[in-house]
Structure 1
Amino acid sequence: MALDADRNTIVTALDTTLPTAGLITLNGDRGALGPAAAALPSTIWSQLRRIHERLPRTTEQGRWREAAPDTGLESSTARWIAAGLPAPATEFDENIRKIICALETAEGPIRRADLPMLADPAIRAAVEITLARCGRTLISVGSHSWITGYPVAVASALARNQLGTLQPMERAVLALVLLHTVAIPRARGTHLDDTWASTHPVHMDTLIANRTIKRTAAVAALRGLRRAGFVATAKAGGYLPGPALLRLTPTQRNLLWEDLIVLGRPNGYMARRIREQRTTSA
């Protein structure tokens, strides 16, 4: 490795640690900074900039070149990063940053009792404004929890550019998980939650009952879905919707329900109405 670091450590960081923390997002072999990076303090960004400039880099011939020392920042090989926002000037600003960091890095929704500062309208408004500047939004989960996610406009733009989107097999397996863990129990009256949380796990044998999905393909898709937080493993066995689905806004949750309706009965009346409405609003 050009960084002289243990290969397994790097693979674990890129495959699990950093995506789970929300610090990076992966789309195939392409990576980008994740939403949690927006909540990093200015001091951390300053350190990262210094490290970034000291990393080895490739030349035009593909060979690795040693980074210039600190005095070499004036050379033409230096890669500049735009300066971030100034450090928080007041305790209020620092509290806003801490709240956003907690919300962005949490695996799931944070209860209001564990984040009582959000009960203050002024603080909540400041959090929403700061999140909006980062392309994020505050989402209320039920009546007692908060989490963050992408607003509809940003999510749509990311999807159009194929950033952070799922592979076809991952989408197919996720649809099956949602059908068996949420849609079917809801149709039977055993699931009343309007979110994608569920207590009705689905097992592998059920997922591969559709013979067009092979076990090896389903296992690989579930591995990617778990890594992205879209699927979780139930304690008693089987699979459940993951915490990432709780970061959907109400509009996005409704769009996902519509997708399942179209998938379940593509030629039905509701499916036709959904397609017509989407065509009209496009």
Structure 2
Amino acid sequence: MVTALDTTLPTAALITFDGDLGVLGPAAAALPSATWSQLRRIHERFPRSQEADRLSADEPGPGPESPGPAVRWIAAEQQAPSSEFDDSIRKIVCALETAEGPIRRIDLPMLADPAIRAAVETTLARCGRTLISLGTHSWITGYPSAIAATLARDHYGTLQPMERAVLALVLLHTVAIPRARGAHLDDTWTSSQPVPIETLIANRRIKRNAATTALRGLRRAGFVITAKAGGYLPGPAMLRLTSTQRNLLWEDLIMLGRPNGYMARRIREQRTATA
């Protein structure tokens, strides 16, 4: 429970803390309605603080027509009766959102129907999410660019500096360098060429203990995985980037590799012009 409150839930932007006060984070909007229904049902089962009991004791007691202790309810919007089509859309969205990685089209054939796909995209948009097609073989969901930029600006679910540095090195050695050599030609951040930790710590500014801690956090968040033969590869979270976000990440690596090069200057000029 402590790990969830300290790391897992804040990293996923499901909760956020302002000092000692914790509130729901922006990613909570993406939770399916079934999850919210379950949370509402167990809301009253949690232990209550003495302060909450004192406040309840100060409230007027129940009238003769409503015996028993007062119950606190979470307000919910009225919903129309769901149809079989609505249930199918919710199940598809739930499968996409909770899957660790992409779902193959053969395992989700309903998304081949334009009407169903449009309904899924509309439902996801209401939750601040978007449907991402990975080539012609699989689907996954992620944040639209505008929402991702807002979350990053407000530091929701962002990585620590050392985690960002180690992730950049992993991407350089597993994707960027192989792509420059012609061994990795698509635009997704996947790879079959793992990088060992010895290569990551060859940069003397990154110590082994710091790199190990950063890799542990990156694995927990799904940004890297451990290869079967050893070493590290980009994780499934990298596949939740839209094409625009993938392109921005590629530009960042270009500027990182050759900050004074022609391409880096052009990228900075273009970003300044569109800012």
> What TM-score results when the alignment is normalised by the length of structure 1?
0.82
AA aligned to 2:40 is: R
User: Taking structure 1 as reference, are residues 221 and 238 closer, same or farther at Cα in structure 2, changes over 3 Å only?
Assistant: same
Is 2:191 aligned against 1:171? no
List per-residue Cα deviations over 1:139-182 (Å, max 9, x = no partner). Answer: 00011110000001100110111111111111000000000000
> After superposition, where does 1:234-253 map in structure 2 within 5 Å?
234-253=227-246
Is the Cα–Cα contact under 8 Å of residues 56 and 64 in structure 1 kept in the other structure? no
- What residue ranges of structure 2 are gaps of 5+ in the alignment? 58-67
User: Taking structure 1 as reference, are residues 37 and 13 closer, same or farther at Cα in structure 2, changes over 3 Å only?
Assistant: farther
User: Taking structure 1 as reference, are residues 36 and 58 closer, same or farther at Cα in structure 2, changes over 3 Å only?
Assistant: closer
Is 2:30 aligned against 1:38? yes
C-alpha distance in 1 between matches for 2:136 and 2:216: 32
- Give the corresponding residue for 1:139: 132
Percent identity of paired positions between Structure 1 and Structure 2:
73
Is 2:208 aligned against 1:210? no
User: Taking structure 1 as reference, are residues 32 and 239 closer, same or farther at Cα in structure 2, changes over 3 Å only?
Assistant: farther
Is the Cα–Cα contact under 8 Å of residues 30 and 128 in structure 2 kept in the other structure? no
User: Taking structure 1 as reference, are residues 85 and 253 closer, same or farther at Cα in structure 2, changes over 3 Å only?
Assistant: farther
> After superposition, where does 1:71-150 map in structure 2 within 5 Å?
71-73=69-71, 81-84=74-77, 86=79, 89-150=82-143
- Give the corresponding residue for 2:190: 197
Which one of the candidate residues 260, 264, 269 is aligned to 1:271? 264
User: Taking structure 1 as reference, are residues 199 and 51 closer, same or farther at Cα in structure 2, changes over 3 Å only?
Assistant: same
C-alpha distance in 1 between matches for 2:199 and 2:78: 50
List per-residue Cα deviations over 1:60-88 (Å, max 9, x = no partner). Answer: xxx78589598334xxxx6x744256376
AA aligned to 1:231 is: V
AA aligned to 2:32 is: L
- What residue ranges of structure 1 are gaps of 5+ in the alignment? 1-9
Which one of the candidate residues 31, 37, 42 is aligned to 1:51? 42
Is the Cα–Cα contact under 8 Å of residues 19 and 228 in structure 1 kept in the other structure? no
**Pairwise CA distance, 1:193:** 2.4
Is 2:160 aligned against 1:160? no
**Pairwise CA distance, 1:57:** 5.1
AA aligned to 1:122 is: A
User: Taking structure 1 as reference, are residues 167 and 82 closer, same or farther at Cα in structure 2, changes over 3 Å only?
Assistant: farther
AA aligned to 1:46 is: S
The 3-state SS of whatever aligns with 2:70 is helix
The 3-state SS of whatever aligns with 1:143 is coil
**Pairwise CA distance, 1:190:** 1.4
Is the Cα–Cα contact under 8 Å of residues 170 and 200 in structure 2 kept in the other structure? yes
What count of residue pairs does the alignment treat as equivalent?
263
C-alpha distance in 2 between matches for 1:187 and 1:27: 42
With 124-133 and 32-41 compared, the bigger mean Cα shift is at: 32-41
> After superposition, where does 1:23-34 map in structure 2 within 5 Å?
24=14, 32=24
